[in-house]
Structures are given as C-alpha cells and as structure tokens.
Amino acid sequence: GAGVSQSPSNKVTEKGKDVELRCDPISGHTALYWYRQSLGQGLEFLIYFQGNSAPDKSGLPSDRFSAERTGGSVSTLTIQRTQQEDSAVYLCASRHDDYEQYFGPGTRLTVT
C-alpha cells in the first residue's frame, strides 16, 4: 500500500522532556531501520529490527535512546531526558527481501 509514514513530522520539545517518534513501515516489510541526520551530517545508523527483534542496538547514541517494534509493524523510538544535541531529523526506513530501503519523510526534532 502506501509508503513509510512517520509521525509527528515536526516536534519541538524542552530539554529534559521525553519524546516518542513513530514509524509505520510498508506493509509486509520485515526489516525496519532508524537513522538520524544531524545538521550537515550524513545518515547515522541507530538501530535495525528484523521482525520484532533488534539484533544490534549499538548505533543508539546513549541509554536515553530506546526503540521497540510490535507485531512486526509499527516501531517507536523513544528519547528520554532530551538534550540539545538530540536535535536532528530522525528517519525510518523499511525493507523487504531486496537491498533497497524505502524511507519515510522523517521527524524533525528540535530540543530547546
């Protein structure tokens, strides 16, 4: 059906607050990725899901970051006690069996 969707598209939060970012992958895609793009930087890998499990969480910047995926579909990236350096565009992508990833439009997070 539709492509990858992410919500919210924009989020402004105060330093120290928690935020939740949501990703709805393409139906049937088993793999789901989270990336972060800070200003002037490339795409930084955060975490990968195969089904509901995350074999590698080593890309998460700190223990304030966590992610889960339920039902092999929707994923939520949670950032606790946000810091200004967390400000970035958070991108989600999903993939089926081939190599191509399909990206969502991203969530722009601004921590003030």
Partner 1 sequence: DQQVKQNSPSLSVQEGRISILNCDYTNSMFDYFLWYKKYPAEGPTFLISISSIKDKNEDGRFTVFLNKSAKHLSLHIVPSQPGDSAVYFCAASDSGTYKYIFGTGTRLKVLA
Region 79-98 residues binding partner 1, contact defined as CB under 8 A: 91, 93
> Which of residues 13, 22, 29, 50 is near partner 1 by CB under 8 A?
50
- List 100's β-bridge partners, or say none: none
Nearer to partner 1, 14 or 39 (CB): 39
Residue 78, amino acid: T
Smallest gap from Cβ 39 to partner 1, in A, equals 11
CA distance 90 to 111: 13
> Which of residues 14, 63, 97, 100 is near partner 1 by CB under 8 A?
100
Q: Which helix (H) or strand (E) holds 21?
A: strand 19-24
> Which of residues 21, 24, 48, 77 is near partner 1 by CB under 8 A?
48
Query: Which residue shows structure tokens 């919210």?
Result: 8
Q: Which residues contact 73 (CB under 8 A, 6 or more apart)?
A: 24, 25, 27
Write out the residues near partner 1 by the rule CB under 8 A: 4, 31, 33, 35, 40-45, 48, 50, 55-56, 91, 93, 99-106
